[in-house]
Each structure stands twice: as structure tokens, then as C-alpha cells.
Amino acid sequence: MKNTELKCAVQAILFASGAPVPLETISRALEQKPKQTQLILDELIREYSSEEYGIKIVRLEDSYQMCSKREYGEYIRRVMDIKRNAPLSQAAMEVLAVIAYNQPVTKAFIEQVRGVDCSGVVGSLAAKGLIEEKGRLELPGRPLLYGTTDNFLRCFQLEGLDNLPAIQNQEKSGADKSVNEKKFSDGDKNKEESGNNKKDRSKENDFTVTLI
């Protein structure tokens, strides 16, 4: 097959699929080596990045998908009568960040990190196709494991999880220890020192994640 014919075949495959297609699958269909298929896809990505096109080809880890460009989303909504999706809440973004950076994780792990029940948020993210079940943890009760989806990568314009923005560690600034000038008995002093040690051990690191 000529290069032009191969490019046309790749476009037809991606257009007809409507979902991410693995590089290996495209290569088998074209009867080409993955390296050669990769070169064709890279060329198409460059071509579709031009302002002449309203669609583009995106890479999602080892898969590729054809989709519309963001700036023409409003025109598509008018035709398809699709309402603009409500933005994710702060709670949803926090849960999504915990899953994205630690996957696969259980709901119990998410709740331990956030300190609140996350059942509703997890269900909402799954309904939006941003997270999915990744199996079960081999522990009593076999809790479900959750991870992100290809739709998550597409929505946040990431080629893969390696492209997630770095986490910015921010150590919590606890209140300064007050110095008590009062004299304590040996027993009271031991109790206070024990309490302070417990407080020191309970300090945790906090972080802020910004997803783009």
C-alpha cells in the first residue's frame, strides 16, 4: 500500500471507531509494523493540527482517537442539542486527583485521604466516564479498586498518566506550641509530654493539585 492509501485507511479506522484504537490494532489492520504505523499517525496529527481542520487526532497512551477541536464545541452542541455539562465540583476534583495519582485505589483509601464519605462523588465520576472499576483488592470483603479512564485523559488533554502535573507538597503549618511557665508536678509533666508526642505523630502532609 502507498503512503497516501495508508493515511486514508488510518483516518477511516479512527473515524468509524469513534473510540480510542490501540496502535497494535491499527498496525494489524494495515498489515504494517507498529513503527511504520506510528510514523503515519504522527504525520496525520501534524496535518490535523492545522487551523484548516475542525477535527484532530489525539494520542491516549498507546491508543489514538479522532475528535473535534474544543473551539468548535458550541457549534456541535447547537446541532446535537447537547446541554453544556456542569463543571466538576471541588470535591469531585479532589477525589479525581486522589484516584489519578494513586490508582488503583479503594473507596476507603479515598475517604481516608479526604476524611469524608465519598460514595456519591465516586458514583458521579463513574457515571461521567472519568473513572472505572479496575478489579478488587485481595483483602477481606474484596473492595473495588478504581482508576481513571481514557475519557479522563481526553478531557484533561493528557497523552498518558506520566503527563499528570507534578504534585506540590505543602506541609501544614500547625499552631506554634505554647510555652507554659507554670511548674508541673512530675506526673503532670509526663502527661503533657506524652500528649505533645501524640500531636507530633499525628501531623500529616497536605497537597494541592491543579489539573489542566
In Å, what is the CA distance from 104 to each residue of 77, 99, 100, 112, 146? 34, 7, 8, 15, 5
In terms of residue numbers, what domain contains 43?
3-74
Q: Is 94 in the same domain as 154?
A: yes
How many structural domains comprise the chain?
2
pLDDT at 192: 41
Distance in angstroms (rounded) separating the CA atoms of residues 178 and 175: 9
In a domain, 114, yes or no: yes
Q: Name the percent of the chain lying above pLDDT 90.
A: 45
Q: Which residue has the cell 496502535?
A: 23
The residue out of 131, 146, 163 marking a domain boundary is 163
Provide the CB-side half-sphere exposure for 78 (13 A, CA): 4
Per-residue pLDDT of 122-172, as tens digits, reads 998 998 889 999 999 888 888 999 999 998 998 888 888 988 988 876 433
